Structure 1
Amino acid sequence: MNDNRVKDFLAAGALFLAPFIFFFPLTLGTKIFFDGDFQIFYYPIRVELARAFAQGRLPLWEPGIAAGFPLLAEGQIAALYPVSHLLYRILPIQFALGYELLLHHGWLMAGMYVFSRSLRLAMPAAIFSALVFALSGFMMENLLITNLLATIAHLPWMLWLLGKILTAQRRQARAAWFVLLAILATFQFLSLHVQYALLDLGILALYAITWSWCESSPVPIRQSLGVAVLVSIVAVLLAAVQLVPILELTRLSNRAGGVTYEDFTNQSVELKHLALFLSPVVFGGPKVTPGGVVGYLGIIPLVLTLAAPFWERTRRTAFWVALALVGLFLAFGEFNPIYPLLYRVPIFNSLRISGRFLYLVSFAAAILSAISFDSILRNAPRINSTRLAKIAATIFAFIIGTEIVSMYQVDFAGWMALLNWLPIALIGCGVLIVWLTARGKLNRSFAIIGVIGVTVFDLSAFAAVLLQSENALVSSTDFFQAPPSLAAFDTKADQSRILTTGALVPPFPVNQASLYPNLNLVDKISSAKSSTGMWIQRARDYTDNFSPGMLNLYGVRYIVSPIFPRDESGRVVSQPSDKFALRLGTDKLDVPPIMATAIEIDSYIDGEIGEGAQVGALTFFLDDGSTVQMPLRAGIETKAFQAKATSARFDLPKGHALTGIQLASDSRADILHIEHIRLLDPQGNATLLDYAFGASNHSLIYRDDEVAIAENYDALPRAFLVHSAQVLSDSDALRRLREYTFDARQGAILENTAVGGAAALSVPYSDDSPEQDDDESVQITSYESEHVQLKVAATRKGYLILSDTWYPGWIARIDGNDTPIYRVYYTLRAVPIDAGTHTVEFEFQPRSFYLGASISVVTLILGLITIYFVRR
């Protein structure tokens, strides 16, 4: 190995290790990212991935979110990606999460160096390209999108391997390079971020088309393009084990009709956003600037990128300029006049978020700036000033080292104060360094130190702003600790679920306390909802507008309400509310005449209020036209919540029926919460009045500063029997489910078409007594991710309902015999059952996965045979 190869190896190795220094808290495991998708999506599904690996299985199905979800088919769990096995089979989760980011960031930087060197750029310029792209605004803004980084980290290596194939003289060498390229292209589809995998294959194809022209090579275009196309085909076939399940899920998901035009043009770059290339905080920083539109490259890289077409007038430069301009043109999205036409282009119209095309701009700019840097370095004199250069390098290293440490110490305001004037200072400094170097007036060593040092300082300052906002870190101890609210849940015995309310993603630690989907997976608690990029549309239709009966059918035993937002002083702006619980307005509510001797009120108050102060009053209307008023006073009839609501009793005049109830207009509705109203008849029997007012039997059982948890006493078990059914269309089924009077125990609502191999039921079995009998039972004897076993004792014919999501690939057996699974209640599962004692099994055997695996295996075998004959 010659000296240059040793130096290249050391340089690439140093760049690979650079992220481990830059993000040293992750390396040490003392801190972890917690914001946005990283906390509520990547972290919990990686926990589930590690759990599945420990159990010796693949996470084909996850029952803990959305009443069941094909997690592997969604793709982003990356269960088939080799790096996932390396990390999540070996490392503890707190290290695996951080190291997944660090390894791919390092691999990207090393790849940028190697690819830049293959373009015949000097070592300093190659290092510069790696630093510019890895620390660019695009990369730092998308740092926490784990699959994005894992996908694009392979692109520079793929471009380098394509060049090796096209320049190799021996057939065996070309075959070896081709195999490596096919492996990396396959990794992109296993990582998995489909959009960036497609973009990378597009870049590979464009690079192949123009390679001969750029390199003045005799290799014909059909040969270079043929390599790129063949690699893409092989990669798709090898990754079929992942892609075929994705296609099946897509057909049943929110993406079935393609992305909407709104998603297609989301995060479009406006003309004014071009100012972000000069300063990433020109509009106020990350908390104000729309996400996904920051293309900041650093001042010196921007100057060098703009100068590249003038200083290096080559075909190679023209290619990268064209790629950058195409990327910028597409990034304009809705502000681009031809975008409505592009929305009609197949495959292209499946790409979400037009701002993501800044990826092309950033990648091309990193190469262009390195080309310019390499060009001006050739003009720089090589004056022997080793000692001074070492001193300068030491000073810059100290400054940057101090900056890196400070990134985790100085707050957001401090870094914003620096960035408000830094770009202005760097424009002058950067232009001066570049001009002096280009004119041959600056020593080469000083030019290298100045350009790289100033650029790293510049880009690190913006990274620091993000590390104190969008990419903030928190102590690993705080991140991984179990929230106190966890003690309120008892879901293991009855397989019940929780429902976390709210459309907005709450902040940390409210996320933790509320088990916001998918954080419930960490603690093995099932949630009615999920936070995934792709979801089963029927399940989402069901959960978007629950009726009380739908909530009960889903087995939702706990309703969790995050307590936010808060104002600047930390005061809660709006109190949590359970929309299924009792809500009394100031209008009179009429009820059928009910004989009652007393009324019991369960209530509690929020906020500070003096002892004995009246916070509300209830007026009861009797059948003789008279009224009785019941005061609710702090500390007497109602109190602040302490583990449960306060119960107060009020006697009614004997011999009268209650006909209505009304909350006094001057009641403190912002403080007073009436939970239950019970009527006691002369025999002492209680009637819950909540149902008459359209409410469910819910009680608040836990409350702290982050979350309120109510228990639903009407939740149905995960599995039960019914003895009646009706067949309805989808629209009629949803309409019936959303009626207030809907009760799943009164009979099944079946699909009116055949699904999953089950014959259509035009005349389903029905019985006059639909509910499960007292002497009937359904017991879940085993409940695992891909296998459920139940013991059923039925006295008569009926249907076994399992309130898990219906999805292709689930099969059922009764006493060992295959039986059809019917889609029931729009999105759940049912099997017909005869009288007697039976063992019923549900097992997930997705044909899409096995079909994809077969394609992948056959492709691998054919590939190995081809390699064998090529090497002979």
Structure 2
Amino acid sequence: MKKSNLIIVVIAFVIGIAIFWKSYIFGLIPFPGDYLLSWYEPWKTYFTANGVPILPHKAILDDVFRQLYQYKIITAESMRNGHLPLWNPYNGSGMPLMAVMHAGFFTPLVGLFVALPGWLAWTIYIVIQPIFLSIGMLWYGRKIGLSWVASIFASIVYATSGFITVRYLFGEYVYIAACLPILLGIIETYRENKKTKSIWSIPLIILFMIVSGQPQMILYVLIVFVAYALFRLKETKKSYVAIGVLCLTGFLLSAIQLVPTIELYIQANMVPSSSFFVTEKFLLPVFQLVSIIIPNYFGNSATYNYWGVGDYAETAASVGSVALLFSGFSLLSGKKNEIRTFFLMVAGLTVLLVVRSPLTEWLYRLPIAIISTGVPTRIFFLTTFSVCILSGLGLDYYLRNVRMHLGRIWMGLVLFAILTCAFVGWLYVGTKGQMPAVRNSLFEAGLLLFAILVLLYLRNSKSKKYVYPLILFIIIVQFAVGLYNSTKFLPFSSRTTIFPNTQIIDQLRSIASFDRVMGLGSAVVQPNIATGLHIYDPNYYDPLYIKRYGELIAYANLGSVPDVLPRSDVVINNDVLPKQDVNQRRERLFQLLSVRYLLFHTEDNNFSIQENIQALPRVYLVKNYEKISEDNELLNRLFDPLFDPTTSVLVEQDIPLTKTVDRTKNEKAKITSYKPNHAEIQVSAVSPAILVFTDTYYRGWKAYVDGMDTPIYRVNYSLRAIIVSQGNHVVQFIYEPLSITTGTYISLISGLFYISFLIYTFRKKPVH
């Protein structure tokens, strides 16, 4: 390894260890486990006293335990059993798993979860993020000519910035953010040497990003990467074709992920109308931009005092006043600098795209995939990255011009910082330090004043020997402030807080078997928690859910299907005593979805499990059916009290079965094996019948009766059924989607071509 590369790795490890020091020193897990136990059933009951949590916690980042950690665990379970993680059977009456994409099911780091205990794999997966991020940033900084000092400063600001800090525990964002400087560094390497082999890694980096998740982040990285390539390679326009082909190759290699995701997207509810509230919430007023300069100006949700617009985690964008000061120095050089120009444009444009205006309101309502359904403030990622690069450029400019004469600018900066400190200090005393905006403004103003005074001292010093020591001291202080802010936000917990067993969990597992469970009232179990417990719950939480299932739930809740469905929550009304009409529809829905066990709280705040004897089995036989093709008519009939789902089903097309209302006690259907991608059912029918399976209907499921394939029909609006003939049969439902097969073949074939071309190119001729 080259000495310079070794230095990069060492510095990156120092940054990474410093950010997650609690994991390295105390063995704590970067996971909001105390929050899980304090506020989420079925643990909250055991970890509260008189309704008050007994565990200190930070009430943030519930997506970590409601989605991301669980998805990694069931992915590893599937892979250990020799299967792809295609289907989640636990929530939402069954939903596609791998196709949701954003949790990163094919990332190489999934191997950690396959090989190691979940808590340890998660810890490694999270704590190595700042290391990867810093390696990319340091390498790119050196490629564009930044000094070591400037590269380190830019990397520290990036790794401890608000945008990055609040996303460390998600895992899906920062790995993609780390790819941006690497891709840009490859362009710089290619400019220096058209024969470089590094350019051939572009498809692999794109593949890594796509299988790591977060489509919105991927889109932003690719837009900047392509724009940067156009900007930096304009003198060799033939290179545009090569870059385009390499990007296309990356998409083809990723087909195994992209094709199933596109299929789900088409059948899901991810439409602009369901995300209008996101645009309304996260297009920011201009005043909110002060948080770029002053971290936690609007408070911090981890300390229960956030008072800004929207949500703290989605609006955090701080880089600090010192980084912005050095960014300003980058503007002082009169010398033409393409990189500075590029990142000035990116920073300016991205800020404009976050600020509420008629233009941005119109833009985010356009039917553009990912953009119209995403969160506008996530583009702060590019703002943050741009400011970090500009701050590195500005620091280098300062180091080359320590004694630069800025006339009254220096005195203006000093006077501004002093007056700001004085004013904020007066407010601090007047409010007794109770206002977070005042406290944090005073802190940041003091830091800015300190940096300005140091720079002013160096300008007037006759000796240069103090320049680098004092600049390094500023960097250390900046790093310390960044670590303070990251430590304030990031939650750490003991590994015993990760989905621990309780008495009620064991009880549910022992009695429920394959039947579904749902909590009501204060005993409600939030959507997706059941996945981590490996019990079955009809509720679901994810932006990519099957629209038809969401419509079924919405009708049960409201009595009609609204024009706009919820963006990500598919939740049955959980009131203990709902209105009579709502209760009637909910009882019917519980019956249809095999919700057999209902969880309540008793007066003494213990759990009570009640059996819903009206619930249908997960698999059952009927002889009668009604054909209704129109959706509203079908739903009206399905929830009609006169309709009997124990003897009949509603179908949308003709089926090859003679109707009859016969019932025979000797007929039976029983699940003998139930796995995520496969279910086996033993059936005994005295005459031809409809076998109803109360799992979600979705394209890709195939049915086999005694080894012979048979069509699956959509029944009762969103469930599955097949026809079985008289006799004893073994029925198998297997999830074998064509999208997976197609995507796999595309990935394999393009991979073979890619590898073959690399071998041919490296052996036969130089790269041009």
Query: After TM superposition, is the score higher than 0.5?
Result: yes
- The whole-number CA distance in structure 1 between the counterparts of 2:132 and 2:165 is 16
Q: Which residue of 1 aligns with 2:645?
A: 744
Q: 2:164 aligns with which of 130, 139, 149?
A: 139
Following superposition, the deviation at residue 185 of structure 1 comes to: 1.4
Q: Deviations over 1:439-493 (max 9, x none)?
A: 66662222322221121122223223323xxxx3332222342233213314666
Q: Which residue of 1 aligns with 2:256?
A: 241
Following superposition, the deviation at residue 82 of structure 1 comes to: 1.3
- The whole-number CA distance in structure 2 between the counterparts of 1:126 and 1:708 is 59
The answer to whether the 8 Å contact 1:112/1:126 transfers is yes
- The whole-number CA distance in structure 2 between the counterparts of 1:698 and 1:476 is 29
Q: Deviations over 1:76-95 (max 9, x none)?
A: 3422221222x112221112
Following superposition, the deviation at residue 285 of structure 1 comes to: 3.3
SS at match of 1:482: coil
Q: Deviations over 1:82-136 (max 9, x none)?
A: 1222x11222111211221222221011110000000111001101111111111
The answer to whether the 8 Å contact 2:555/2:635 transfers is no
Following superposition, the deviation at residue 787 of structure 1 comes to: 1.3
What amino acid does structure 2 have at the position aligned with 1:715? A
Q: Deviations over 1:650-701 (max 9, x none)?
A: xxxxxxxxxxxxxxxxxxxxxxxxxxxxxxxxxxxxxxxxx9xxx9997858
Q: 1:850 aligns with which of 732, 735, 741?
A: 741
Matched, 1:16 2:31: no
The answer to whether the 8 Å contact 2:93/2:536 transfers is yes
Change (3 A) 1:351 1:446: farther
Identity of aligned residues (%): 23
Following superposition, the deviation at residue 298 of structure 1 comes to: 1.5
Aligned 1:484-499 pairs, distance under 5 A:
484-490=503-509, 494-499=513-518
The answer to whether the 8 Å contact 1:67/1:803 transfers is yes
- The whole-number CA distance in structure 2 between the counterparts of 1:65 and 1:865 is 43
- The whole-number CA distance in structure 2 between the counterparts of 1:252 and 1:276 is 39
- The whole-number CA distance in structure 1 between the counterparts of 2:454 and 2:643 is 74
Following superposition, the deviation at residue 312 of structure 1 comes to: 6.2
Following superposition, the deviation at residue 240 of structure 1 comes to: 0.4
- The whole-number CA distance in structure 2 between the counterparts of 1:494 and 1:283 is 48
SS at match of 1:282: coil
Change (3 A) 1:717 1:696: closer
SS at match of 1:838: strand
Aligned 1:69-148 pairs, distance under 5 A:
69-85=95-111, 87-148=112-173
- The whole-number CA distance in structure 2 between the counterparts of 1:14 and 1:522 is 37
Following superposition, the deviation at residue 44 of structure 1 comes to: 1.3
Bigger mean CA offset, 67-76 vs 457-466:
457-466
SS at match of 2:682: strand
What amino acid does structure 2 have at the position aligned with 1:765? T
- The whole-number CA distance in structure 2 between the counterparts of 1:723 and 1:50 is 41
SS at match of 2:366: coil
What amino acid does structure 2 have at the position aligned with 1:277? I
Q: Deviations over 1:349-378 (max 9, x none)?
A: 445111111111100000000111111122
Q: 2:319 aligns with which of 297, 302, 307?
A: 297
Q: Which residue of 2 aligns with 1:840?
A: 731
The answer to whether the 8 Å contact 1:30/1:475 transfers is yes
The answer to whether the 8 Å contact 2:130/2:159 transfers is yes
* Greater RCO (Cα-Cα under 8 Å, separation 6 or more): 2
The answer to whether the 8 Å contact 2:203/2:247 transfers is yes
What amino acid does structure 2 have at the position aligned with 1:841? Q
Q: 2:362 aligns with which of 323, 340, 343?
A: 340
What amino acid does structure 2 have at the position aligned with 1:488? Q
Q: How many residues align?
A: 674
The answer to whether the 8 Å contact 1:185/1:231 transfers is no
Q: TM-score, normalised by structure 1?
A: 0.72
Q: Deviations over 1:696-729 (max 9, x none)?
A: 9978586775866543232211000111001112
Matched, 1:25 2:47: no
Following superposition, the deviation at residue 321 of structure 1 comes to: 0.5
Q: Deviations over 1:230-260 (max 9, x none)?
A: 2221111000010000000001001267864
Q: Which residue of 1 aligns with 2:421?
A: none
The answer to whether the 8 Å contact 2:270/2:543 transfers is no
Q: 2:392 aligns with which of 351, 367, 370?
A: 370
Q: Which residue of 2 aligns with 1:678?
A: none
- The whole-number CA distance in structure 2 between the counterparts of 1:324 and 1:584 is 50
Aligned 1:762-781 pairs, distance under 5 A:
765-769=658-662, 772-781=663-672
Matched, 1:450 2:469: no
Q: Which residue of 2 aligns with 1:734?
A: 635
Aligned 1:531-610 pairs, distance under 5 A:
531-546=541-556, 577-579=575-577
Change (3 A) 1:731 1:584: closer
What amino acid does structure 2 have at the position aligned with 1:734? L
Whichever of the two has the greater Rg, that structure is 1
SS at match of 2:30: strand
What amino acid does structure 1 have at the position aligned with 2:207? T
Following superposition, the deviation at residue 169 of structure 1 comes to: 4.4
Change (3 A) 1:362 1:84: same
The answer to whether the 8 Å contact 2:705/2:731 transfers is yes
Q: Which runs of 5+ in 1 are unaligned?
A: 214-218, 382-411, 503-509, 551-559, 563-575, 586-690, 753-759
- The whole-number CA distance in structure 2 between the counterparts of 1:699 and 1:257 is 36
Matched, 1:353 2:375: yes
Q: Deviations over 1:125-157 (max 9, x none)?
A: 101111111111111122333211222221111
Following superposition, the deviation at residue 539 of structure 1 comes to: 1.4
Q: Deviations over 1:801-843 (max 9, x none)?
A: 0001111111111122211100001111000122222221111
Matched, 1:47 2:73: yes
Following superposition, the deviation at residue 43 of structure 1 comes to: 1.5
SS at match of 2:401: coil
- The whole-number CA distance in structure 2 between the counterparts of 1:837 and 1:751 is 27
Q: Which residue of 2 aligns with 1:210?
A: 231
Change (3 A) 1:277 1:434: farther
SS at match of 1:778: strand
Change (3 A) 1:706 1:369: farther
- The whole-number CA distance in structure 1 between the counterparts of 2:526 and 2:340 is 48
- The whole-number CA distance in structure 2 between the counterparts of 1:440 and 1:355 is 43
The answer to whether the 8 Å contact 1:323/1:360 transfers is yes
- The whole-number CA distance in structure 1 between the counterparts of 2:529 and 2:600 is 22
Matched, 1:803 2:694: yes
- The whole-number CA distance in structure 1 between the counterparts of 2:5 and 2:644 is 70
Q: Which residue of 1 aligns with 2:332?
A: 310
SS at match of 2:84: coil
- The whole-number CA distance in structure 1 between the counterparts of 2:659 and 2:578 is 31
Change (3 A) 1:814 1:128: same
Q: Which residue of 1 aligns with 2:485?
A: 462
Matched, 1:865 2:756: yes
- The whole-number CA distance in structure 2 between the counterparts of 1:189 and 1:697 is 39
The answer to whether the 8 Å contact 1:72/1:79 transfers is yes
Q: Which residue of 2 aligns with 1:680?
A: none
What amino acid does structure 1 have at the position aligned with 2:396? D
- The whole-number CA distance in structure 2 between the counterparts of 1:440 and 1:212 is 42
Q: Deviations over 1:777-801 (max 9, x none)?
A: 1111211111111111112222000
Q: Which residue of 2 aligns with 1:421?
A: 442
The answer to whether the 8 Å contact 1:697/1:712 transfers is yes
Change (3 A) 1:482 1:366: same
Matched, 1:167 2:189: no
- The whole-number CA distance in structure 2 between the counterparts of 1:779 and 1:431 is 76
Matched, 1:792 2:693: no
Q: Deviations over 1:159-213 (max 9, x none)?
A: 112222232243xxx3x31222221111011101111111111111111111146
Change (3 A) 1:820 1:127: same
Change (3 A) 1:428 1:37: same
Q: Which residue of 1 aligns with 2:87?
A: 61
Q: Which residue of 1 aligns with 2:500?
A: 481
Change (3 A) 1:341 1:783: closer
Matched, 1:725 2:616: no
Bigger mean CA offset, 237-246 vs 740-749:
740-749
SS at match of 2:704: strand
Q: Which residue of 1 aligns with 2:715?
A: 824
Change (3 A) 1:710 1:474: farther
Following superposition, the deviation at residue 59 of structure 1 comes to: 0.8
Aligned 1:262-301 pairs, distance under 5 A:
262-264=277-279, 266-286=281-301, 287-289=306-308, 290-291=310-311, 292-301=314-323
Q: Which residue of 2 aligns with 1:323?
A: 346
